[in-house]
Amino acid sequence: MNSAASEPALIGVDWGTSSLRAFLIGAEGEVIDGVSSPEGIMQVSGKCFEAVLDRLIGPWVAQTALPILASGMITSRNGWVETPYAAMPLGADDLAQALKSLEVANGTLVHFVTGASTEHAGGPDVMRGEETQIIGASSLGLNDGTFVMPGTHSKWVQVVDRRIVDFSTYMTGEVFAALKGHTILGTLMEGDDVSEEAFEMGVTAGLEGGANLLHNLFHVRTLPLMGKIPKGSTADYMSGLLIGTEVAAATRGARGAGTLTIVGRSDLSDRYERALQTAGLECRRAPDDIAAKGHFLIARAAGLLG
Amino acid sequence: MNSAASEPALIGVDWGTSSLRAFLIGAEGEVIDGVSSPEGIMQVSGKCFEAVLDRLIGPWVAQTALPILASGMITSRNGWVETPYAAMPLGADDLAQALKSLEVANGTLVHFVTGASTEHAGGPDVMRGEETQIIGASSLGLNDGTFVMPGTHSKWVQVVDRRIVDFSTYMTGEVFAALKGHTILGTLMEGDDVSEEAFEMGVTAGLEGGANLLHNLFHVRTLPLMGKIPKGSTADYMSGLLIGTEVAAATRGARGAGTLTIVGRSDLSDRYERALQTAGLECRRAPDDIAAKGHFLIARAAGLLG
């Protein structure tokens, strides 16, 4: 609890597949209080979302009814209220106009922020939740450029003048886990040394590997076989190879233009920062709680802050 | 048993990780009899390889001692006799000179055919067993060109004048299995319709996808989400995407030059043939039992046929 904070004005909920975070947000957009839970939408049995929300934000709404904004996979087919994807370009105003509202038991309104879709030559792309974070980040002096969001499915998001104009998803994190857990590459990994050198070798191989990923993955087996990297370092080599391949693909041509901003404070974000540096690309880090900032901006654009 | 065959002259054993095949080979190189077993090197407990071999080829050696040639993962670290990799270029003579022999209990000699290694910019590549098949195939009027060997780890092998001059491994098959079995892509696959149309769509996306595989895999999720391919066809789409990506990488520039020959008679080989056709590349199919032909040629070059 921040004693210098203004009066509570809004509750923001970032409700994903495997976890949720809720924020008590003040009239100036500051985060007064926060709570997190492993109760992602896939962990809530029988779609009893309202009960989970009541319990988590109960302490905040005991005396006063606050508007609630919810973003993330909670608006997907397996979520609470399914909403159609919004099209590019997409700013706080557009998301405010697309809010879908539901009155819950105590008369409170829950306003759902929808996700976004785009279309490239190869096929469609979608996000739910990241658009709210990017809208939040884009208000913090980060108006333009490319936002890199490391994760199971990483997103590269192009922003022009506080509006999302395009984005691409990369399955890098999930591919890494599947290969490590369920192929000969993982079977042969010994120990769990952390090797920055092997990671950097992998990044370089990925940056230079072009379209050869399915071949280059075999080097995760042959390099230790030939004594060229220690057996304990192969996981880090593979992590670097995959992230380097992603960075090369995502920054080719006009994509990845402008200032690069990494979203997130995890070890994975640190790996992406090192890979971008190895690629000769400068980047900065987005502040925490940008989802709450996004909830605030969208709520304000929707006239929900009284 | 082929009644027109000549006298038995050799036993060839193609002993891999998950299975083995043994051939009774005549003085003209023809296969007189064959036996196969699921007793690959990883299934033989306590490295009791001699007992397994005795049982399988016992009926052939009851009356006469025949030289035995063994190729494949049986010469790897987890096999019977570990042999060093031979370097490129590699023909029957080279493999004959590199044979490593072991006398087993009844006085019979087992001659081990070693594997091959090569080195590209990105790292080393290795094979054990495929070199013998390719030497066999290269004697059957298939002296030159590129051999495509679909499998868990597919190999693309360049042959010039009956010698292997280079090769590359692609982890495509194992990547497909890991993604289907252990990611959200597999979780969302419904039914198991066989869809040639979805496979072809995937092949085209892979051929055109360049370095974007980690992104393009996400389309396995978004295309059915947007109703662009049936949910039951996503496995075939992903199979096509991965094989198309491999074909594009393996035939870029000077690689994959000359006539293309597909080795193998499996459903997977049929998929590769369709993908090569979609890429506008002509190909032919290698005959069966080329491993036995390779054993014969290497044994003859080593003077083992009396």
Are A188 and A131 members of one domain?
no
Are A280 and A293 members of one domain?
no
Are B292 and B244 members of one domain?
no
Are B185 and B136 members of one domain?
no
Burial A280-295 (b: 16+ CB within 10 A, else e): ebebeebeebbbbbbb
Interface A-B, measured as beta-carbon pairs within 8 A, has a size of 146
What secondary structure does DSSP assign to B252-267, as a single string? Answer: STTTT-S-EEE---SH
Contact B103, B132 (CB under 8 A): no
The partner residue sitting opposite B171, judged by closest CB among A170, A171, A217, is A217
Q: Give the residue numbers spanning the domain of B126.
A: 8-140+288-301
Position B83 in a domain: yes
Contact B85, B53 (CB under 8 A): no
Are B251 and B181 members of one domain?
yes
> Distance (Å, rounded) from C-alpha A23 to C-alpha A30?
10
**Structure confidence at residue A4 (pLDDT):** 59
The CATH number of residue B87's host domain is: 3.30.420.300
Are B120 and B210 members of one domain?
no
The distance from CA A147 to its chain's CA centroid, rounded to whole angstroms, is 10
The CATH number of residue A224's host domain is: 3.30.420.310
Kindly give the pairing relationship between strand A8-15 and strand A68-71: parallel
Are B133 and B48 members of one domain?
yes
Interface membership of A216 toward B (CB under 8 Å): yes
Position A199 in a domain: yes
pLDDT < 50 positions in chain A: 1-2
- In angstroms, what separates the C-alpha of A272 from chain B's closest C-alpha? 15
Are A131 and A185 members of one domain?
no
Q: In this structure, is the dihedral angle defined by the CA atoms of residues B157, B161, B162 and B163, taken in order, positive or negative?
A: negative
Position A166 in a domain: no
CA torsion, points A113, A114, A120, A123, in degrees to nearest 10?
Answer: 140
pTM as predicted: 0.94
> Distance (Å, rounded) from C-alpha B292 to C-alpha A236?
41
Position B166 in a domain: no
Are A297 and A260 members of one domain?
no
Are B296 and B232 members of one domain?
no
pLDDT in tens, A57-98: 988 987 678 999 999 999 999 999 999 999 999 999 999 999
Interface membership of B241 toward A (CB under 8 Å): no
Tokens standing for residue B225: 């989400």
**Structure confidence at residue A254 (pLDDT):** 60
> Would you tell me which residues 179-198 of chain B have a C-beta closer than 8 angstroms to some C-beta of chain A?
179, 181-185
Give chain B positions within 8 Å (CB) of A172: 214
Are B12 and B110 members of one domain?
yes
Helix (H) or strand (E) holding A13: strand A8-15
10-residue block means of pLDDT along chain B (306 residues)?
A: 72 95 95 96 93 93 86 96 97 98 88 96 93 90 87 94 95 97 90 87 96 97 94 95 97 75 92 96 91 97 93
CB contact under 8 A, A246 and B169: no
pLDDT in tens, B240-270: 999 999 999 999 876 656 789 999 888 999 9
Neighbouring residues of A149: CB distance < 8 A, sequence distance ≥ 6 = A130, A133, A155, A156, A157, A262, A263, A264
Cis peptide before B124 (omega within 30 of 0): no
Position A161 in a domain: no
Are B120 and B21 members of one domain?
yes
**Structure confidence at residue B64 (pLDDT):** 74
- In angstroms, what separates the C-alpha of A285 from chain B's closest C-alpha? 23
Position A39 in a domain: yes
Q: How many domains does chain B have?
A: 2
Q: Among A171, A245, A246, pick the best mutation site for testing chain B contact (most B Cβ within 10 A).
A: A171
Burial A184-195 (b: 16+ CB within 10 A, else e): bbbeebeeeeeb
- In angstroms, what separates the C-alpha of B211 from chain A's closest C-alpha? 4
| Residue A180, phi-psi category: left (phi > 0), alpha (psi -120 to 50), beta (remainder) | alpha
Position A225 in a domain: yes
Give chain B positions within 8 Å (CB) of A228: 123-124
Kindly give the pairing relationship between strand B20-26 and strand B68-71: unpaired
Interface membership of B215 toward A (CB under 8 Å): yes
Position B160 in a domain: no
Give chain A positions within 8 Å (CB) of B123: 205, 216, 219, 222-223, 228
**Residue listed under structure tokens 């947007």:** B226
| Residue B282, phi-psi category: left (phi > 0), alpha (psi -120 to 50), beta (remainder) | beta
